[in-house]
Structure 1
Amino acid sequence: MSERVAIIRNRSAGRGKSDLVDRVAEKLRRGGQHVRMLETEFAGHAAELSGRIAATREADVIVAAGGDGTIREVAEGAYGHKVPVGVIPAGSANVLARELGYMRGGSISARHIANALLSRDLVDLYPFEIKRGGRIQLGLCWLGVGFDAAVLKNVSPSLKGRIGRASFVPAIIQALFEDSSLPPVHWSGAKEESGDCGWALFANIRRYAGPFTVTRKTDFDQPGLSCLLNTRKGAWARTVDQFAIGFGAYDRRCKAWLLDDQSVVVGGERVPVQVDGDFLGFGESEITPAHRPISFRAYVKGR
C-alpha cells in the first residue's frame, strides 16, 4: 500500500547532498509512494512545517533531509502526533542517521536510505527537553555546555558551506586556546548534588561527532541521558578528551551517571550551549529526559 511521504529539505545542510535527496525521492516514487518536497527557508521552519503536516495528517511519514539539527526540528514539530519521522542523511556529521542504521558501514547510499524508509520498520527514540529563558524545546542527541558549544560558535557558515566538515578544524583550534578562559560550567539538581566542571555533555545517544562512541551508559531507545561532567580545563585537557572519544573511553574520564527521572540546571551567563550540533547561545539550561518517545523509521537490521 502506498504512503504519502513529506520530505522537508534543508538545502543549506551538508555540502553537495542535494542530488542525494532527489535520488532518494525518485526511488520512493518508483516504490509507489506519493512524495511531496518542501524546502526550509529559515531557522525553525522545519519544525513549523512538520508540526502543521503532523497535526493535519497530510502525510503518513515526515522525512527530514538534512543534518542532525534538521532532524531535531522535524521531530520537534511531529512530537505528540502519531506520524513517524524518517531521515535522509544530508548533513555534515549525520550522527543520528548512523545510529538509526541509515548509513550502512558509514557510507551514504540512496538505495539503502530508500529501502530503510520503504521497510516501514519503526523504533522509538526517547528525546529530552531543554528549558531556556522560559522556552522549552526538544533535543534528540546531546546537549553540550562549554567546549563543543564554543567550537560550533566559532564555525564559519560560509566556510562550512564550501568545505564541509573540514571547517571544524580552525574552529576546534580556536576553542582549544580559548578553553582555559571560559568560566566554569555550574550544574545542580541531579540527586540534590551540585558543582562546577570544565565541560558538560549530556548524551542521549552513543555516537558523537560522526562515528565515534562517546558513552555506553545510554541508547536512543531507552529513556534517560548519560551525564558526562569533565572537571579538567585547558587546551591539553580538551585535546586528550578528543583522543578518549576517538577510542571510546570518554566515559572513564568524567564524573558520569544516568539521568533518568530528574532535571539538571547547567551553564552560566557566559557559558556557550549547543544542542544536536546547533549553537544555542549562552546562559543556563534546564535539561529533563522525556518519557514519551518519537517513532522513527529505521533500518533495524543495521543497528
Structure 2
Amino acid sequence: MSQSAGRHLLLVVNPTAGHYTEQRLTNFVQQLEHIGCDVQVELTRRQGHSTEIVRSYLARNTPDIIIAGGGDGTIAEIAQAMMKAPCALALWPIGSANVLARELHIPFDDAENAALLARGTRRTVWPGQITTAEQTTPTLFLQMAGVGLDGWIVQNLSPMLKKHTGRVAYVIAALQLALSRPLPPFKTRVDGISHRTVLSIISKGRLYGGPFALFHHNLHHQPAFSVLLLHRLNPLLIIWQMIMMRLKRRPSSNPAFTILTGETIICDHTSPIPAQSDGDFRGVTPLRITSAPTLLKIIAPPQPVAPSTPSQRSTSGRNTKRR
C-alpha cells in the first residue's frame, strides 16, 4: 500500500498565479488521488484570502498536509496560518518565480511533485517575520524581504503584467522607477550596526528573483539571515565589485554593497520607504525583521549536507560582530 494512502490533503490554489490553468489543476488533483490521497481544493479570491481559508479550515479539521498552490506570496500566506498546526506544508509551484521551491529543490513536474508527497519526506525551516508601520502584527516570509528599490518595484507592479510576463514584469518596473525618480537612502541596522543603504535584501536562502544565486549559504535551518546592503546605484561599481568577489580579491574601501549575516534587521527613515516580503507589498518603514518564534515542517527532498557556518566577515572588507 502507498505510504500516502488515506491521507487527507487541503490544496489551496491561487488562480492568478503565472503558471496556473484549470486543466493543470485537474490533472494534479487526479495524480494525488491516484496515489490514494483525499484532496479538498479551495481557490483564493484576493491577497490574504489563503490565510483566511487555512485558519477557517484548521478550526474544523486537521489535514495531514496543506498544499500551497501558487508562488512565494501564497506560500507565505498559508504558512502564516499554519505555524502552530501539527500538519506539514507542501508546495505546488505554479507562480512566476517560485524562489522557495527552487531553493528547496521541489519538483516543478507535477507527477514528480505528487511522488514527493507520496514519500512524505519532511524538512524543518525557520521562517522570518516582518513588522512595518502599517502592519504591526508580525507577517511571515519564508524566502526573503526587500526594503527600498525592491519595495518600490512591488508596490508599483502591475498584476496583469506580472501574470503575462512573469519575472520580466519586475525588470520593466525597475527600469520605470530608475527613470522616474531618485531613490532616497535610508538607515539599515544589522544586529545594532548601522549602514546607509538604498536597497536592503534580507534573505533566508541563496536565490533572488528566481534561479539567480545572490548569497553563498542557505540559512533556512537557523535563526539568521543573509543581508545585502546596496549603498549606491552605480552599475559600473557594482559590476566591478562583483568581479573582485569572484576573484576573491579585496573590494575598494568605498564599496557599492556589503554582504553579511545577522539576526535582527531594523530599517528607518524620516520619510516612508516601502518594503516587500516574498513578492507582496508589506508597508513602509520603520520596520523590524527577525526570525519567527516557531519552526515549520515542509514536504521537501532531504536537506543536502550543510556547509560550514558562514563567516561574519562582510564582503566590503569590514568585520561585523553579532550583538
Paired residues of 1:177 and 1:235 also in contact (CA < 8 A): no
Q: Which residue of 1 aligns with 2:46?
A: 42
The reply to whether residue 186 of structure 1 matches residue 187 of structure 2 is: yes
Match of 1:248 in 2: none
Find the counterpart in structure 1 of residue 161 from structure 2: 159
The one-letter amino acid paired with 1:292 is: T
SS in 2 for 1:74: helix
- Provide the rounded CA distance (Å) in 1 between the counterparts of 2:177 and 2:244: 18
Per the alignment, residue 277 of structure 1 pairs with 279
Within a 5 Å distance, the mapping from 1:71-82 to structure 2 comes to 71-82=75-86
CA shift at 1:5, angstroms? 0.3
Distance 1:243 1:174 in 2: 27
Instruction: Return the index of the structure with the highest Cα Rg.
Output: 2
Give the distance between the partners of 1:96 and 1:14, measured in 2 at CA.
Answer: 15
State which of 4, 7, 10 in structure 2 corresponds to 1:3: 7
On the 8 A contact 1:272/1:280 being kept in 2, the answer is yes
TM-superposition CA deviations, 1:242-263 (whole Å, max 9, x none): 9999xxxxx9963232223x45
**Residues 74-127 of structure 1 deviation map (CA, whole Å, 9 limit, x = unaligned):** 111101221110010010001111112223xxxx31111111111110001101
Answer yes or no: is the 8 Å Cα contact 2:70–2:95 preserved in 1: yes
Deviation at 1:196?
A: 1.5
Residues 37-61 of structure 1, C-alpha deviations (whole Å, 9 max, x = no match): 0011121110111223334443111
| Residue type at the aligned position of 2:211 | P
In structure 2, what is the Cα distance between the partners aligned to 1:242 and 1:24?
A: 42
- Aligned residue for 2:131, secondary structure, equals strand
Higher helix share: 1
Where does residue 102 of structure 1 map in the other structure?
106
Which structure 2 residues correspond to residues 15-164 of structure 1 after superposition, within 5 A? 15-103=19-107, 108-133=108-133, 134-164=136-166
Q: Distance in 2 between matches of 1:291 and 1:140?
A: 13
TM-score normalised over the length of structure 1:
0.86
Distance 2:119 2:71 in 1: 22
TM-score normalised by L of structure 2: 0.81
- Are the counterparts in 2 of residues 54 and 83 from structure 1 also a CA contact under 8 Å? no
Structure 2 match to 1:214: 214
Cα-Cα RMSD? 3.0
Q: Secondary structure at the match of 2:15?
A: coil
Deviation at 1:210, TM superposition (A): 0.8
Question: Any unmatched runs of 5+ in structure 1?
Answer: 246-250
Aligned to 2:200: 200
- Matched residue, 2:257: 254
- Taking structure 1 as reference, are residues 129 and 163 closer, same or farther at Cα in structure 2, changes over 3 Å only? closer
Q: Residue in 1 aligned with 2:315? A: none
Identity of paired residues, percent? 27
Change (3 A) 1:97 1:38: same
Unaligned runs of 5+ in 2: 246-250, 306-323
Provide closer, same or farther for how the CA distance between residues 265 and 148 of structure 1 changes in structure 2, counting only shifts above 3 A: closer
Tell me the SS of whatever aligns to 1:223: coil
Post-superposition offset of 1:18? 3.9
CA distance in 1, matches of 2:273, 2:177: 13
* Structure 2 CA distance for aligned equivalents of residues 81 and 162 of structure 1: 35
Determine the C-alpha separation between the residues in 2 that align with 1:71 and 1:240.
36
- Structure 1 pair 231–264 and aligned structure 2 pair: CA distance change class (3 A): same
CA distance in 2, matches of 1:121, 1:77: 21
| Cα pair 1:3 1:33 within 8 Å, conserved | yes
Aligned length: 294
Are residues 1:171 and 2:173 paired? yes
